[in-house]
Structure 1
Amino acid sequence: MTSMVSERPTFLLAPFDRRTWRAYGFLWLSLLLAPFALTYVLFTIGFIAAVSVTVIGLFVAGAVLLGMRGWGAMYRRMAIRFLDVEIAEPTPRLPRRGFWRRVGAMLGDATAWRALLYMAVTFPLAIVAFVVSTVFLAVATGATTHWAWSQFLPLQQASDGRWHRGASFGTDWFVDTPARQLMLFGAGVILLYLWPQVQRMFVALFALLATSLLGPTQASLRVADVERARAVTVDDADARLRRIERNLHDGTQAHLVAVAMQIGEAREMLRDGADPADLAAVLETAHDSTKDTLAELRELARGIRPPALDAGLAVALETLAARAAVPVRAHAAGLGDADLSPSVASITYFAVAELVSNATRHAEATGVDVVAGIEPAADPATGSTRPALVVRVHDDGRGGAVVREPGPDGRGSGLAGLMDRLSGVDGLLRVVSPAGGPTVVTVIIPLTGTPRPGTSSTGAGAPGRR
């Protein structure tokens, strides 16, 4: 859930700024809707209390409560349109199977109850905000224009018997002289400039309530992230299995068939008493084909899980650096003693492999630095600090890397896909890539436990360039 209030207008232009008048229009709409919203709130609460004693009543009460989602959507659009705030859509309702589960989901819908709370709380706020704002605006307008319309006011007699025409304060003080007209005009100008400031306080409270109660909850966002990460994991696993099947079918299987044919040919030659030299040549070819097949199988296994990971992430990163197409320097201080789960180590390895590959293919880099270590990192959910695996990949390429949605052909989704995969372990991806380079991509994966004794942290910066 995010909110963003637009930049405030300057003080001198505030009474005439369109944002000030849009906010005043929001107060008008809120006042007009408040009685109907409160009526629906009271009806919903009373109806639920009255009919929940029956099974059918529970279902109907749940349906009435879900109507709050519609009210919440309307108020959310109002806040976005008039108050210049950004509020994410609440998570949609998930279908439930079974009568009781469906009824429980309806009556326990957090989005509906939060909208009900918003409508109840904003009823008095709408009245007070509109009255105060309108009084400031009306008095300011009347005071600044009093000199023009006061001549049409009826005559009033003071206690001394004299007649006056103009606004009166008390029984004998009338605004009917140039000096007093000027004083009232000045007071009106002051009130006119105070009006946007007073109104802004009420509008800020409306915006706070809207962003807090009409958007998704942190729990629902977390569930959505977990579901998206799970879907990405399933898709990744399926794509990897398909790639393995294709490689086995097109490569390894074809080589094994060739080896079988060569061995069959050697057997026939042996049965027919062929020349030993020819027989040796066929067996040599079969032997070479077998070694090539074994090499392909090792490469295929390395793509599933690199054997170097068995020796730790630090060794795996050094092995990856040695196999890269461009010079890569890996620095992983303290990772050898870190308590990293196999999933974290594997995801980190393939993330670095993806980033190094991107630097080679897309950024046209001539060198890459990889710095990994355990560092304290802030938890976005709680704000607390806990240990995290931090990996920085620095290349000297042309820069311009951005995280964007994949195109229709599925291309251009490398960083976005990497970000989704990292979300499966609560990881974050940060990209700093100005045009012309260099590019620094930081992978942050929080650790569920604490590092074992002896684990050290690395510095924030990458080591010097080659």
Structure 2
Amino acid sequence: MNGEAQDHAGVAGLAVGRSLLQALLAQIANLPLAILLGVSLALVPLGVGLALLPPVLLAVRGLANQQRRWAKEWSGVEIPVPYRPRPADASGFGRVKWLLTDPATWRDMLWTLVNSVLGVVLAGLPSALVVYGLEGVLVAPWLYSLHSFGWGPFWPLGDYGPPGAIGCLLLGSVLVLTGWLGGPPIMRAYALVNRSMLGPTRARLEERVRELTATRSETVDASAAELRRIERDLHDGAQARLVALSMHIGLAEQMVKDDPDEAVRLLIEARQASGTALTELRDLVRGIHPPVLAERGLPGGVQALALTLPLPVNVTVDLPGRAAPPVESAAYFAVAEMLANTVKHAGAERAWVDVRHNGTALVMIVGDDGRGGADPSRGTGMRGITRRLAAFDGTMAVTSPEGGPTVVTMELPCALSSPKI
């Protein structure tokens, strides 16, 4: 029973501390961002707002995403992220268009304005009750007592004397208890209000269902094509080698007595055929799931890819843990395809790969100093990678002006496992 009481006290104490944090954040972050949004929107007709809006809106998204995480971690209220995927042309005016045409952006704006008040009034209520109650318990009774004896120049408190001190003590205790016990339900109510503003609308949910239906169809088609490729490679490659190997061994068995030299020659050919078949099987397995991923993870896989290219590749990988094997495989093949395009089409002298996790997604940036002009709509390789990433709700953005450089940014939403010690 004591353990349960301690757990409840700990939860209540955390809720009060989080209440104070939310109240401070509403004034330190929400209010300035609301003012910046108003100024940026007012300056849009002058053109200045087009430059100011993207960083302000992205800052609002970051703050809203933090609230979504806190709502789930602190109160068990899950708020799905409703933003539309970043399109391939999301640079310059395209980025402004992407942000402003997303209904979730306008809901974020409304939340920013409302939360600058709501975060103080509702989220800050438990901490305000506790702080004000502590003042009534620890400070006001002494002031009343001293005032009743005429000690010191205090502000007018009335001639209540000790009864006034007792009243402050009782009232302060009630306020502290109310704020302490009411902290968790009040914070949950605050999270539910946030969900009503930051969660996806019904229209967005319907749109998301359509997107997932299309993605599933593309994934099924891609899986079927991959299966046909594996079957074809097995039939035309390794299977044919193994059939030839069996024939050579059978002929050698028949000739081992009559013509030993010919039998030895056939066995040598059989050994060579077995080596070729083994190599083809290894290549086929590597195309399904590279062994280097299982052995060394995505960092080692990307490093190994870079070492096979005929140009210098600067690789930077910063991952505090490992993603799920299917996600690692998709990321590996996406980077491999982009590097292959660099070698085949870019005419580049150097390339670079940057892989990191931003807290919600695996971000892979592949760039080169080549001739540029890469267009995802013209290449089957890039379209294939787009479909592979879409199966995991991932996105790809390509920036490749004529003359270069080419920068491909790919994101795969995922969580990382804890690093092994």
Relative to the length of structure 2, the TM-score reads 0.49
Higher helix share: 2
Larger RCO: 1 or 2 (CA < 8 Å, sep 6+) = 2
Higher alpha-carbon Rg: 1
